[in-house]
């Protein structure tokens, strides 16, 4: 089938034979299929979806375009977590050392901020000297020595996905459930994992605000793992407000350290412990999630996970002494506390507004090549449903320049919606909204 015929077939809703789709993708890799033709196929997929077999072919072709990692020489199973992205989501910084302390190896490959959502790599790089890029041999050594290592996607892993993602980013085809699923799973299947856990965000601060869309994404990725004998579990978690207090890279590192010391916001701790239990079960190191959650809580309280995180940071070029209280991040020179102008109830804390506000302060990107300021951000001191008194602190703005405080002040006050105490409120979403696992994944998906 020539490229135009294949594009027309998908445009008209036909299911593409595996050999034709695979040949088209390989021709794109070699340059025989033009960017315009690949863009046209992506748009056809965006509107027509993919059958289960088409999705499997796309995922496999991206997976096999690069190196497949093998950690079978390690004396324990490997497990990873992927989040679909949110605001204030610093879970990975706590989760990786925690799960390593519970007995698994965690080779975590993470991403940068995208749109209004933050990125784990940007948070890690807020620590002076921390290296998120390293040769795979060094990544393997840190993983073996420490039990966890955290880097960005390397050029060797699923390079076809990298090219397709860049094309989707400029052609309006990012928000496609089958394309998102294939992109995520092609990279994770390349990691040589014994188990994978997905944190699929739901709510106004997520890429998929609707619960049913998020559930379909989770089911699709769980199904892809099941077809390749990889245990995959997804937790559906709330992103209708920021996770925790801190929004901003350095501030979020400090909050993660609080959690690793046994403190921190209860919401961050609850999500992290729930994901840790799922990861331990997924890689075969336990069968009782409640008992594992209890062990995880005790591990955070003991400081053992903090010590392991400190070892990882130092092994990857970051500052030593974090477990002794050393602050690894620089502080913004200008901080302003914002207070309530009246007695009221917090109706909403809009995570998307805060995410875009962070970009305006210089803590996020509008272009991939931009550098960011890890010092800036927000501390949100209230949650939806809280009653506040006049003069009570609502938020703090951390800015690089005094003039930026004006911008940050407006962003924070607009994001925190206050209503009179006698007004009606919608209840915030529960933190944990559901679970999708291999045992409940759909066996047939006609068109995604």
How much of the chain is in helix, strand and coil states, percent to nearest 5?
45, 15, 40
Q: What is the mean pLDDT of residues 432-440?
A: 83
For residues 59 and 368, which has the higher predicted lDDT (pLDDT)?
Answer: 59
3-state secondary structure of 55: helix
pLDDT 10s digits, 9-26: 999 999 999 999 999 999
Q: For domain 334-419, which architecture applies? A: Alpha-Beta Complex (3.90)
Q: Could you tell me the strand order of the sheet in which 393-399 lies?
A: 246-247, 377-380, 393-399, 334-339
User: In the block, which residue shows the tokens 């390749």?
Assistant: 228
Identify which of 79, 56, 112 has the alpha carbon closest to the alpha carbon of residue 224: 56
pLDDT per residue over 200-214, tens digit each?
999 999 988 999 999
Question: Is the domain 79-325+432-440 a CATH 3.60.20.10 member?
Answer: no
Residues 6+ apart with CB under 8 A from 206: 84, 85, 86, 214, 239
Task: Please report the pLDDT score of residue 45 as a whole number.
Answer: 98
Per-residue model confidence as pLDDT tens digits over 387-413: 999 999 999 999 999 999 999 999 999
Question: Tokens 């990107």 correspond to what residue?
Answer: 365
283 with 230: CB under 8 angstroms? no
Instruction: Name the pLDDT band for 113 (thresholds 50, 70, 90).
Output: confident
The secondary structure of 212-274, three-state, reads HHHHHHHHHHHHHHHHCCCCEEEEEEECCCCCCCEECHHHHHHHHHHHHCCCCCHHHHHHHHH
Average of per-residue pLDDT values in the chain: 94
Q: pLDDT tens digit string along 33-44?
A: 999 999 999 999
- Token duo for residue 46: 């965006």
Task: Determine the straight-line distance between the first and last CA of the chain, rounded to whole angstroms.
Answer: 23
The mean pLDDT value for 326-333 works out to: 97
Mean pLDDT of 295-306: 98
Task: For residue 393, give both structure tokens.
Answer: 């602190």
Say whether pLDDT at 448 is over 70: no
User: What is the full DSSP assignment across 181-203?
Assistant: HHHHHHHHHTT--SEEEEEEEES
Q: What percent of the chain has pLDDT over 70?
A: 97
Residues 192/78, Cβ–Cβ less than 8 Å: yes
pLDDT of residue 204: 94
DSSP-derived secondary structure letter, 56: H
Mean pLDDT of all residues in 154-165: 92
Per-residue pLDDT, averaged over 421-437, amounts to 89
Q: pLDDT tens digit string along 239-269?
A: 999 999 999 999 999 999 999 999 999 999 9
Q: Catalytic residue positions?
A: 80-83, 120, 168, 183, 187-188
Hey, where are the domains in the chain?
Answer: 3-49, 79-325+432-440, 334-419
**The tokens of 87 are what?**
């605001």
In DSSP notation, 301-338 reads HHTHHHHHHHHHHHHTT--S-GGGT---SPPPSEEEEE
pLDDT of residue 170: 82
What is the average per-residue pLDDT within 163-190? 92
DSSP classification of residue 428: P
Percentage above 90 pLDDT, the chain: 88
Which residues touch 58 (CB under 8 Å, ≥6 apart)? 21, 25, 50, 178, 182
Confidence band for 447, pLDDT divided at 50, 70 and 90: very low
Given a cut of 70, whether residue 446 has pLDDT beyond it is no
Question: In the prediction, which pLDDT does 427 show?
Answer: 86
Radius of gyration of the chain (CA): 22
**Domain range 3-49, CATH architecture:** Up-down Bundle (1.20)
Please, which pLDDT band fits residue 282 given cuts at 50, 70 and 90?
very high
Q: Which helix (H) or strand (E) holds 137?
A: helix 136-146
Could you tell me which residue, 116 or 212, shows the higher pLDDT?
212
Which candidate, 106, 148, 153, places its Cα nearest to that of 315?
A: 148
Q: How much is the pLDDT for 403?
A: 97
Confidence of residue 439 (pLDDT cuts 50, 70, 90): low
Checking 136-139 for CB contacts under 8 A at 24+ apart, the result is: 136/67, 136/69, 139/107
């Amino acid at each position: 089938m020539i490229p135009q015929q294949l594009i027309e077939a998908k445009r008209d809703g036909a299911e593409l034979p595996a050999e034709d789709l695979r040949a088209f993708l390989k021709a794109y890799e070699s340059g025989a299929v033009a960017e315009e033709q690949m863009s046209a196929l992506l748009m056809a997929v965006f509107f027509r979806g993919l059958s289960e077999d088409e999705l499997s072919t796309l995922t496999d072709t991206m997976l096999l375009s690069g190196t497949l990692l093998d950690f079978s020489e390690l004396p324990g199973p490997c497990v990873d977590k992927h989040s679909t992205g949110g605001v204030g989501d610093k879970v990975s910084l706590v989760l990786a050392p925690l799960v390593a302390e519970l007995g698994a190896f965690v080779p975590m490959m993470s991403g940068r901020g995208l749109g209004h959502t933050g990125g784990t790599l940007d948070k890690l790089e807020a620590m002076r000297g921390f290296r998120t890029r390293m040769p795979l041999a060094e990544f393997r050594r840190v993983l073996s020595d420490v039990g966890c290592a955290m880097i960005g996607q390397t050029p060797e892993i699923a390079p076809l996905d990298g090219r397709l993602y860049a094309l989707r980013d400029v052609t309006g085809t990012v928000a496609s459930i089958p394309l998102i699923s294939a992109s995520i799973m092609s990279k994770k299947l390349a990691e040589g994992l014994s188990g994978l856990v997905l944190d699929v965000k739901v709510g106004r601060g997520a890429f998929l605000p609707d619960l049913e869309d998020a559930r379909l994404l989770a089911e699709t990725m769980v199904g892809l793992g099941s077809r390749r004998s990889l245990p995959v579990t997804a937790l559906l978690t709330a992103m209708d407000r920021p996770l925790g207090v801190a929004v901003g890279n350095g501030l979020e590192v400090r909050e993660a350290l609080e959690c690793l010391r046994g403190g921190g916001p209860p919401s961050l701790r609850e999500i992290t412990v729930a994901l840790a239990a799922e990861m331990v079960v997924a890689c075969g190191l336990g069968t009782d999630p409640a008992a594992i959650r209890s062990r995880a809580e005790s591990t955070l309280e003991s400081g053992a996970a903090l010590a392991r995180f400190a070892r990882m940071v130092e092994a990857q070029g970051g500052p030593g002494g974090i477990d002794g209280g050393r602050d690894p991040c620089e502080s913004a020179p200008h901080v302003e506390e914002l207070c309530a102008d009246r007695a009221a109830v917090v109706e909403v804390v809009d995570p998307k507004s805060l995410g875009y506000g962070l970009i305006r302060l210089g803590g996020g990107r509008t272009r991939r090549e931009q550098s960011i300021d890890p010092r800036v951000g927000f501390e949100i001191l209230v949650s939806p449903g809280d009653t506040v008194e006049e003069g009570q602190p609502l938020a703090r703005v951390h800015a690089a320049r005094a003039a930026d405080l004006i911008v940050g002040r407006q962003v924070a006050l607009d994001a925190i919606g206050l209503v009179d105490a006698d007004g009606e409120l919608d209840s915030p979403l529960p933190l944990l909204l559901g679970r999708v696992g291999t045992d409940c994944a759909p066996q047939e998906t006609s068109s995604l």
